[in-house]
């Protein structure tokens, strides 16, 4: 009898153990939350809402994804929360912005690094571009750099803040052109930086391709160059890259946006998300909404993102070492 | 007059239905503490996915206008400003409600909101190209001086003494430095993870205004429950209209100040109400009545914060730059339908753009009608027994602070600030200057740093901050404001005597 009970208990334990190991088969069983570390209405928030709108479909996750904003300190507040306080149960996702969080972790003072998160998939890539006011005398990057050579440290140009894509682009330009520039970080993000250019408070600015494209369409700015490996054929086929204009600048400043989970999330859940989420981004409704909003998409799988994160970590460590 | 041509589109059954839905929903969301206009509009964006662009924008536009006005309801009845825009409304509005004049205060606030709102939207319709230039005129140096102008208001705002007003303003300025700084990313005074993102204004507002009042209600206990019977007076709507238009000065100052300040990107909504309140207090013949439940205070504050709605959209619609967080959310609502705002918006999508603006115009009037309708019985809130009321306000305060970013940290911040404010109020300090410091601190600091970075790279700090007519104009107003305060202080020798403190204590309880 004793043996029988022991056996039953063992069997039960084995069964629950089994059930536990496979318990993620039904994932997700309830709605999922996705943290966006920027405020409602910003580009990351706006895109995150579009790319997750089909999550509830049967062919996607079958459960809706709700966006929760935790803005503050250039994203540090939200990513700190995701790394230290969020539950790693697969029901808490986060949106990432590369190179922002990698650069911030290298700068220090935050409790996360690339090791704190597991990427799931990438949805978008928004390159930085150099803009000047519509009536500016500058017509190419050469004009800009010539001015900077004549007035060392006197070329003022705006960007969304320190240790974000725009700042990285500014550092790269400074290094590649071998001149000293005056980068003015704006406290009101990309929109504030763009306003400073249009109002003529600064001579130029680094901004997101998607926002610059709209500002150019509105006749407010000229776009002089793209901080990427190739031209953007969809939105700005006529704007040359920095390399074409003789500056050795790669795509380290391109703002990649995607989905990640905190470290410690069970592997079966990561696998399931990594398999379904890229397909969800491919949805034609998502694609058409993103195109309508002027947001360039670049869908990458988990493995590709892991590679991209590692590459960024290396480039940024080198670039920021001199600061 | 193109806007009249598209006026008909507002009244198709579906569009008008959405307009009603947006207006009523907006009033309810606005009256809920913690749900600011920005949040309300963001909550509605997913619903517009399924709608036509025109319909989606009607819903968003109506919700925006009525949440701003709805914030006055909780400000007046519960002394919880729904959003920073409604801070000034609490000063006189809640005093009126405790006197049993809640219905009158609500009616005044909705009528003056509508007057200010309609004026603001008309400015948007007729003067957009001119206003767009004005919105671009404010660079870092001007915004810095503007913030300093706000600081000079601190001393004279709702306080028994200028010194105490300035002191509580300084506490606010200090609180504003907590967290990562906006530009350089340096960490300051982060002693607990809850404040790593800085002190969020909305939980701070709720804590500073609502919690001292809750504690006061609890401390009075049961004994005085039946001793105090507030008779809620009925107030005919006709008289409210007469009152609003009799107070021409307050209405004009509120509307004009709100429209001008609303235009300035990044500053607008939060301080329009407070600046208008302060200005009309200075110009009023009965300035000593302000703060005791005076109708001019409500009229100036509410006409200002709704007048700001129309002009605040000018930078978005003409330059494609969102000038306020709410405008940023609206930009998302436009982009999702593939509509790029900009100078040709009215040429490419006249049907969408004009109908959107028309719906805001009609929305103001609908909002006023509904507001007046609910004002009568909403005022009965003042009759709820203190014990029950305290529990309800406390519940709303926790809910409101939590809902801002789903964070318990904000609730702790709210509770801590509220508790501290309870003791500060015992010593004659008041919450309004403190909040103003909290709001103005980051604006002054960020713009000073940005301005001096530009200045160092170009013309030098002195030249940058002290040349140009706009800089000098703002500096002159700053000087005028300071001298006025000093002169008033000397004239009336405002002190907090023991008797004053006792009187204030009694007024509070």
* CA angle, residues B489, B493, B494, in degrees to nearest 5: 85
Do A175 and A121 lie in a common domain? no
Start-to-end Cα distance in chain A: 74
Residue B436's SS3 state is helix
- Structural domains in chain A (count): 2
Q: How far is CA B278 from the centre of its chain?
A: 13
pLDDT tens digits along B319-346: 878 877 788 888 888 887 778 887 778 8
In the predicted model, is pLDDT for residue B112 greater than 90? Answer: yes
- Structural domains in chain B (count): 1
pLDDT class for A15, splitting at 50, 70, 90? very low
Do A136 and A83 lie in a common domain? no
* Chain B contact present for A8, CB below 8 A: no
* Chain B contact present for A52, CB below 8 A: no
Better-predicted residue by pLDDT, A257 or B34: A257
Better-predicted residue by pLDDT, B62 or B481: B62
CA distance A128 to chain B (A): 18
The four Cα atoms A6, A10, A13, A19 give a dihedral, to 10 degrees, of -140
Is A238 contained in some domain?
no
Nearest CA among B150, B169, B161, B156 for reference residue B275: B150
* CA angle, residues A33, A34, A35, in degrees to nearest 5: 120
Do A145 and A217 lie in a common domain? yes
Do A67 and A119 lie in a common domain? yes
Is A193 contained in some domain?
yes
Is A18 contained in some domain?
no
pTM across the whole model: 0.85
Above pLDDT 70, what percent of chain B?
A: 93
Q: Write down the pLDDT at residue A18.
A: 42
Q: Which two tokens stand for residue B139?
A: 């660079």
Q: Write down the pLDDT at residue A300.
A: 95
Average model confidence (pLDDT) across chain B: 85
Which residue range forms the structural domain that includes residue A214?
Answer: 128-226
Verify whether the Cβ–Cβ distance B179 to A53 is below 8 Å: no
Is A63 contained in some domain?
yes
Do A272 and A300 lie in a common domain? yes
* DSSP state for residue B317 in the 8-state scheme: I
- Cβ-based contacts of B266 with chain A (< 8 Å): 188, 192
Do A132 and A208 lie in a common domain? yes
Domain boundary among A174, A206, A226: A226
The Cα-based distances of B119 to A164, B5, B247, B308 in angstroms read 41, 19, 17, 9
Verify whether the Cβ–Cβ distance A74 to B450 is below 8 Å: no
Which residue range forms the structural domain that includes residue B123?
Answer: 2-508
In the predicted model, is pLDDT for residue A13 greater than 50? Answer: no
CA distance A180 to chain B (A): 10
Place of tokens 């208990």: A9
pLDDT tens digits along B187-243: 888 888 778 778 888 899 899 998 998 998 888 766 554 445 566 777 888 888 888
pLDDT mean over A190-211:
91
Verify whether the Cβ–Cβ distance A46 to B335 is below 8 Å: yes
CA distance B404 to chain A (A): 9
From the CB of residue B254, how many other CB atoms can be counted at a distance below 10 Å?
36
Is A208 contained in some domain?
yes
Place of tokens 């706006």: A46
pLDDT class for B383, splitting at 50, 70, 90? confident
pLDDT tens digits along A263-282: 999 999 999 999 999 999 99
* Chain B contact present for A72, CB below 8 A: yes
Among residues 190-219 of chain A, which lie with CB inside 8 Å of chain B? 191-192, 194-196, 198-199, 201-202, 214-215, 217-219
Do A150 and A135 lie in a common domain? yes
Do A265 and A213 lie in a common domain? no
Verify whether the Cβ–Cβ distance B342 to A218 is below 8 Å: yes
pLDDT class for B158, splitting at 50, 70, 90? low
The Cα-based distances of A316 to A104, A251, B23 in angstroms read 10, 11, 49
Q: Which two tokens stand for residue B13?
A: 């059954």
Instruction: Closest CB to A156: pick one of B185, B325, B454.
Output: B454
Alpha-carbon span B502 to B480, nearest angstrom:
33
Is A7 contained in some domain?
no
Domain harbouring A220, CATH code: 3.40.190.10
pLDDT tens digits along A64-119: 898 888 887 788 889 999 999 889 999 999 999 999 999 999 988 888 999 999 99
Do A91 and A162 lie in a common domain? no
- B65-74, B202-211, B477-486: segment of lowest average pLDDT: B477-486
Domain boundary among A226, A246, A272: A226
């Amino acid at each position: 009898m004793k043996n029988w009970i022991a056996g039953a208990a063992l069997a039960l334990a084995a069964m629950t153990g089994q059930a536990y190991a496979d318990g993620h088969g039904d994932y997700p069983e309830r709605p999922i939350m996705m943290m966006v570390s920027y405020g409602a209405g910003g580009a990351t928030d706006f895109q995150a809402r579009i790319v997750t709108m089909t999550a509830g479909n049967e062919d996607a996750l079958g459960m809706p994804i709700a966006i929760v904003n935790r803005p503050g300190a250039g994203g540090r507040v939200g990513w700190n929360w995701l790394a230290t306080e969020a539950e790693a149960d697969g029901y808490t996702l986060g949106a990432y912005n590369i190179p922002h969080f990698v650069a911030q972790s290298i700068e220090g003072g935050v409790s996360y690094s690339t090791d704190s998160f597991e990427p799931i998939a990438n949805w978008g890539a928004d390159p930085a571009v150099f803009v000047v006011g519509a009536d500016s005398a500058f017509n190419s990057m050469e004009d800009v750099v010539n001015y900077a050579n004549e007035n060392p440290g006197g070329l003022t140009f705006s960007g969304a803040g320190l240790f974000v894509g725009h700042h990285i682009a500014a550092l790269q330009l400074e290094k590649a052109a071998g001149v000293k520039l005056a980068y003015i970080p704006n406290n009101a993000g990309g929109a504030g930086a763009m306003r400073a250019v249009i109002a003529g408070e600064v001579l130029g600015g680094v901004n997101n391709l998607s926002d610059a494209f709209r500002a150019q369409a509105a006749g407010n700015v000229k776009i002089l160059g793209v901080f990427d490996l190739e031209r953007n054929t969809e939105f700005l086929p006529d704007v040359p890259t920095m390399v074409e204009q003789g500056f050795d600048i790669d795509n380290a400043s391109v703002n990649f946006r995607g989905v990640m989970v905190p470290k410690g999330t069970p592997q079966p859940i990561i696998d399931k998300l990594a398999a379904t989420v890229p397909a969800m981004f491919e949805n034609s409704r998502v694609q058409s909404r993103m195109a309508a909003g002027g947001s360039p998409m670049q869908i990458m799988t988990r493995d590709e993102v892991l590679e991209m994160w590692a590459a960024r970590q290396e480039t940024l460590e080198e670039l920021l070492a001199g600061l | 007059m193109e806007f009249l041509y598209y006026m008909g589109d507002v009244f198709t059954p579906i569009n008008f239905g959405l307009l009603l839905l947006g207006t009523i929903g907006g009033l309810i969301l606005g009256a809920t503490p913690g749900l600011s206009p920005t949040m309300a509009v963001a909550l509605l964006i997913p619903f517009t996915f399924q709608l036509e662009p025109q319909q989606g924008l009607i819903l968003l536009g109506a919700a925006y206008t009525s949440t701003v006005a709805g914030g006055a309801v909780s400000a007046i009845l519960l002394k919880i400003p729904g959003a920073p825009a409604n801070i000034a409304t609490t000063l006189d509005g809640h005093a009126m409600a405790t006197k049993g004049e809640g219905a009158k205060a609500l009616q005044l606030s909705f009528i003056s909101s509508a007057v200010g709102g309609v004026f603001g939207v008309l400015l948007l319709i007729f003067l957009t190209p001119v206003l767009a230039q004005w919105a671009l005129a404010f660079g870092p140096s001007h915004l810095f001086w503007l913030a300093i102008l706000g600081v000079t208001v601190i001393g004279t705002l709702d306080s028994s003494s200028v010194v105490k007003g300035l002191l509580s303003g300084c506490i606010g300025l200090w609180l504003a430095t907590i967290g990562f700084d906006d530009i350089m990313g340096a960490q300051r005074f982060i002693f607990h993870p809850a404040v790593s993102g800085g002190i969020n204004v909305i939980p701070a507002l709720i804590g500073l205004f609502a919690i001292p009042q809750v504690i006061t209600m609890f401390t009075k206990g049961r004994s005085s429950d039946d001793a105090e019977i507030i008779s809620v007076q009925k107030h005919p709507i006709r008289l409210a209209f007469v009152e609003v238009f009799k107070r021409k000065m307050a209405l004009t100052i509120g509307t004009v100040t709100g429209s001008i300040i609303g235009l300035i990107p990044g500053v607008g909504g939060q301080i329009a109400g407070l600046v208008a309140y302060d200005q009309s207090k200075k110009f009023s013949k009965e300035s000593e009545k302000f703060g005791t439940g005076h109708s001019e205070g409500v009229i100036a504050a509410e006409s200002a914060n709704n007048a700001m709605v129309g002009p605040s959209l000018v930078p978005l619609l003409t330059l494609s730059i969102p000038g306020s967080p709410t405008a940023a959310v609206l930009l998302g609502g436009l982009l999702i339908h593939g509509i790029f705002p900009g100078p040709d918006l009215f040429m490419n999508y006249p049907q969408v753009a004009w109908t959107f603006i028309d719906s805001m115009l009609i929305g103001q009037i609908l909002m006023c009608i509904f507001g007046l309708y609910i004002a009568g019985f909403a005022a009965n809130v003042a009759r709820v027994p203190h014990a029950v009321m305290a529990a309800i306000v406390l519940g709303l305060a926790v809910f409101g602070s939590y809902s801002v970013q789903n964070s318990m940290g904000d609730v702790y911040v709210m509770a801590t600030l509220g508790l501290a404010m309870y003791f500060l109020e015992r010593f004659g300090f008041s919450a309004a200057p403190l909040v103003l410091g909290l709001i103005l601190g980051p604006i002054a600091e960020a713009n000073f740093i940005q301005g001096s970075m530009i200045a160092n790279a170009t013309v030098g700090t002195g030249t940058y901050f002290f040349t140009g007519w706009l800089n000098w104009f703002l500096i002159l107003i700053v000087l005028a404001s300071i001298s006025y305060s000093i002169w008033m202080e000397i004239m009336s020798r405002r002190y907090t005597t023991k008797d004053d403190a006792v009187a204030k204590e009694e007024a509070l309880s």
